[in-house]
Amino acid sequence: MFFAAFPVEMVTLLAFLPAALALNLTPGADMMFVLAQGLKGGARAGMAANLGIALGCFVHVLVAGLGLAALLKAYPMAFEVIRWGGVAYLIWLAFRSWNAGRPQIVQVARSPGLRIFREALVVNLLNPKVALFILAFLPQFVAAARPVLPQFLALGVIICAGGLVVNGAVGIFAGRIGRVLLRSDRAATAMNRVTGGIFAALALRLAIMERTA
């Protein structure tokens, strides 16, 4: 009954879940921010940063979903523009990730939890890369023949929830994870290569997918 009412087709959802999980597990700017706060201020500071980032991510998803739904309703061919723009962006991300070095953890000052939450929210909202990534990643799992906004929001909630869980774990276990990321070139290289491969595969999938009429 639940799956019948879910806006995303089951086959699409089964393809989306492992891709979203892999991306949530990949170190990025958001994870590094949570890690830095956790290393400096402990688990509570890490979780405050995590909650701020998760809220910012959902705001990006909501804005992008509303805009995408309106755009596709007014200009159906805009789907192709978004699709090929997403292909180009994912290829660039794949190249950059494949050649990236070890992730760097910025130094942060100890701050109250509410201030950390606000800072994380603002940092995420003002990061255009988050919006670009959402527009590149989520539309490839959206069927244009079905209502776009419910699908987009459902997928967005899943990826935001995954980020909340993964980054929350990073914030709680910041010390141990931080040492691994900072000291192991091999671990960093492996994660970069896995991330680059994921982005390249997503770009290929997006390039060859057919729009459902």
pLDDT digits (tens, 9 = 90+) for 40-86: 777 888 899 899 999 999 988 888 888 766 776 666 676 677 667 76
Residue 2 pLDDT: 47
Please report which confidence band the pLDDT of residue 99 belongs to, taking 50, 70 and 90 as the band edges.
Answer: confident
For residues 177 and 67, the model is more confident at 67
At residue 94, does pLDDT exceed 50? Answer: yes
Mean pLDDT score, 163-184: 75
Whole-number percent of the chain with pLDDT over 90: 10
Residues 10-14, mean pLDDT to the nearest whole number: 84
Residue 132 has pLDDT above 60, yes or no: yes
The average pLDDT across 24-31 equals 78
Rounded to an integer, what distance in angstroms lies between the CA atom of residue 129 and that of residue 131? 5
pLDDT band with cut points at 50, 70 and 90 for residue 195: low
pTM comes to: 0.69
- Distance CA(52)–CA(70), nearest Å, equals 27
Angle, helix 113-125 to helix 29-41, in steps of 10 degrees: 170
Q: b/e for 172-186, b at 16 or more Cβ within 10 A?
A: bebeebbeebbeeee
Distance (Å, rounded) from C-alpha 209 to C-alpha 191? 27
Residues 6+ apart with CB under 8 A from 203: 86, 87, 90, 91, 94
Taking 80 as the threshold, does the pLDDT of residue 161 lie above it? yes
pLDDT for position 76: 65
Mean pLDDT of the chain: 76
Residue that the structure tokens 């660039």 belong to: 92
26 within 8 A of 163, measured Cβ to Cβ:
no
Residue 192 · residue 25 · CB < 8 Å: no
Q: How far is CA 153 from the centre of its chain?
A: 13
- 162 near 25, Cβ under 8 Å? no
What is the band of 213 on the pLDDT scale with cuts at 50, 70, 90? very low
Highest mean pLDDT out of 35-39, 165-169, 199-203: 165-169
User: Residue 174's pLDDT band (boundaries 50, 70, 90)?
Assistant: confident
In whole angstroms, what is the distance from residue 189 CA to residue 180 CA?
A: 12
